[in-house]
Amino acid sequence: MRGKPVAVAGNSRRAVVLTASYEARSFGVRSALPLYKARAACPQLVVVPPEMQKYRTISREIFEILRSRGRPVEGLSLDEAFVDLGELVFDDARSAAAQLRRDLFDATALTVSAGVATGKMIAKIASDSCKPDGLLAVAPGEEAAFLAPLPAGRLWGIGPKMQARLGVFGVVTIGDVAALDPGRAREIFGSWWRQARELAEGIDPRPVDESRDTKSISTEETFEFDEREERRLIDVLRGQARELAASLEEERMVAQTVGVKIKRADFSIVGRQTHLSEPTREARRIFRAAVHCLRRAALDGAPVRLLGTRVASLSLGDPLQTTLF
């Protein structure tokens, strides 16, 4: 093994795994896994708390390097993005991606996986396929052949339920999706059948969109054991409000909508939100609004599996100064 099995997990008594090293993943440890299950699967697991502030700082540095090329960059998360390399020929595009990986490693000491392709979906799949530290380039014209042997669930838009439905029809791989005749594709996918077949054939003309604005910021916690006590749920909301307030402060943004997401033990999801009279990034106001939403959900002691807080209706600027009288 290359190193110790490590999991980054929340530091409360209800901790879940946020991410895991590849050594840990070989034991079945994965994100969103309750920590007690992770320890059972891998007794020698080394557990460390997350450092979200540090992650955000490094993320900003990474995105600054990506944008320094003057090409559109579309962020997907703290550590994932699409970069438009322009009208480069295939070998030059692959070389540009390799140089980006070197630049990012020199600046941050972080390894980066990259996929190069004519479309975003294939680039994403290629990047996932060469983790933890690789570069995989799919040449123009080879998209369908690259996708064909992969499980149908790797195709964008196909979740677990659709994948199970595909299995009933004997559709197992992306190549099987591409080979569907129009009638059967329409029967399976409905109005989405044409797009599904095009994606399976490697046709993905969507551009890299750098104009996507942040619509909301959220945080959530999956409990190690189902939680029933409102007092403990409120404690979680307090911590989440502080985290969101710090994120808003860092981005110099304010929010006017606060909502909560509640996943019950039966996996049903309840959401409630409220609109504030004035935009804010104060943890105290976010917390009070979140508690209000929690109580509106009327759980009445129902066991909760996950609890999250979200702020939306975001805008740049400072909170309005309110008067005392």
The CATH number of whichever domain residue 19 belongs to comes to 3.40.1170.60
Do 310 and 220 have their domain in common?
A: yes
Most confidently predicted of 40-54, 119-133, 158-172: 119-133
Do 239 and 312 have their domain in common?
A: yes
pLDDT tens for 235-287 read: 999 999 999 998 888 777 899 999 999 998 888 889 999 999 889 999 999 99
- State which of 112, 137, 162 marks the end of a domain: 137
The CATH number of whichever domain residue 306 belongs to comes to 3.30.1490.100
Cβ–Cβ < 8 Å for 78, 251: no
- Is 87 a domain residue? yes
- Which pLDDT score is estimated for 108? 93
Cβ–Cβ < 8 Å for 262, 270: yes
Do 235 and 265 have their domain in common?
A: yes
For strand 135-137 and strand 114-116, is the pairing parallel, antiparallel, or unpaired? Answer: parallel
- Is 282 a domain residue? yes
pLDDT tens for 81-126 read: 999 998 899 999 999 999 999 999 999 999 999 999 999 999 999 9
Q: What are the backbone angles phi and psi of residue 316, rounded to the nearest 5°?
A: -75, 145
- Which pLDDT score is estimated for 321? 45
- Is 295 a domain residue? yes
The CATH number of whichever domain residue 162 belongs to comes to 1.10.150.20
- Is 143 a domain residue? no
Q: How far is CA 106 from CA 37, 83, 315, in A?
A: 37, 19, 34
Do 97 and 176 have their domain in common?
A: no
Rounded distance between C-alpha atoms, residue 131 and residue 79, angstroms: 13
Do 153 and 235 have their domain in common?
A: no
Q: Which of 61, 80, 142, 251 is catalytic?
A: 80
Is 220 one of the annotated active-site residues of the chain? no
Do 71 and 155 have their domain in common?
A: no
Q: How far is CA 191 from CA 157, 166, 197, in A?
A: 13, 16, 12
- Is 188 a domain residue? yes
Longest dimension (CA), the chain: 71
DSSP run (H or E) holding 309? strand 304-312
For the chain, how many structural domains are there in total?
4
- Determine the structural domain holding residue 169 and report its residue range: 149-200
